[in-house]
Structure 1
Amino acid sequence: MDYNAAGSAGSNKGPNNAEYLALVQKRIDTFLMVHPYLKKGEIPSDMVTASGSGLDPNISPQGALIQVKRVAAARNLPEEKVKALVETKINNPAIIGTSTVNVLKLNVALDELK
């Protein structure tokens, strides 16, 4: 697996719910295990939380960029090449909203690099 959207299931639990907080902490721990070069404070929240449906195919540009090192190593590609590709896949909103990266489209583009 290369780039991934956070979480596999949505949540309707509030940010103070103990069960939800434990799940987020578990996701943080897992993320840090596969990205040992990061510190907890560097992980964008979308990497350890899930959309309401858990089906959002997008992650933040920050979420994609902090995974460059791992993905480049896994695919045996230069980090600069993977970073440049991520930057071309950033979707900026026309008027308002947040920038996103579509994980599926990014992974397909990575496949095409080989």
Structure 2
Amino acid sequence: MSQLSKAVRSTLALWLLTAFLYPLFMLLCGQIALSFQANGSLITNSQGTVVGSALIGQPFNSDRYFWSRPSTVKYSISPEVTKTGISGASNLAPSNPELLKRIQVEVARLKQANIQPTADLVYTSGSGLDPHISIAAAQAQVRRIASTRNLNPAQIQTLVSQNIDGRFLGIFGEPGINVLQLNMALDALQPAS
């Protein structure tokens, strides 16, 4: 009976520690030390309305904005629906005719807009949710946006330079540009009509 009592007390103590105290401690640490990241890295506009996350890409198709990477994920555009979709690549083999057709459509769309196709403007990311494009992809779109918004390309080039996210810890990954943040900076420069 003594052994059973010890086993029950040990189980209850460990359950209290691992199911309540540790998660509560982690929640408090996250909210105090890293609240932006712990709450989804949400980006708000000048009115304080949440417009997206710094971690999840959004589709931009207007000529007034920088275009994001193509995605196989069906983004939820409705504000009532907060689900983004299923993360992941299309898993189409390089020899698949559907993949070749999708790439040809993207390249044709870019060339029609007088944009030099870059890999990240043609190919989807592995997750399908990448919010970043390369610096080259952003620079390839500067003239189109300057023409559409009647701005000096140097102004837009400055915005591109100001919105570059460097390498993680200075060594991991490649520098990139968060498309949502860049488009918000573009709207701050000249509000979209």
Answer whether TM exceeds 0.5 for this pair.
Answer: yes
The residue type paired with residue 96 of structure 1 is: F
Tell me which of 110, 113, 118 is aligned to 1:34. Answer: 113
> Structure 1, residues 74-93: CA drift from partner, whole Å, max 9, x if none?
11110011011101111110
Rg (Cα) greater in structure: 2
* Higher RCO (C-alpha under 8 Å, 6+ residues apart): 1
Runs of 5+ unmatched residues, structure 2: 1-61, 73-88
Matched pairs, number: 109
Structure 1, unmatched stretches of 5+, are none
Residue correspondence of structure 1 range 1-114 to structure 2 within 5 A:
1=62, 2-9=65-72, 10-35=89-114, 38=115, 42-93=116-167, 94-114=170-190
Question: Quick one: which amino acid aligns to residue 29 of structure 1?
Answer: A
Stretches of 4+ aligned residues off by more than 3 angstroms: none
C-alpha RMSD over aligned residues: 1.4
CA distance in 2, matches of 1:18, 1:46: 20
8 Å contact kept, 2:71–2:125: no
Segment of structure 1 superposing worse, 10-19 or 69-78: 10-19
Q: Distance in 2 between matches of 1:112 and 1:51?
A: 28
For normalisation by structure 1, the TM-score amounts to: 0.87
Between the aligned residues of both structures, percent identity stands at: 38
SS in 2 for 1:16: coil
TM-score normalised by L of structure 2: 0.53
What is the alpha-carbon distance in structure 1 between the residues aligned to residue 120 and residue 94 of structure 2? Answer: 14
Rounded Cα–Cα distance in structure 1 between residues aligned with 2:179 and 2:142: 13
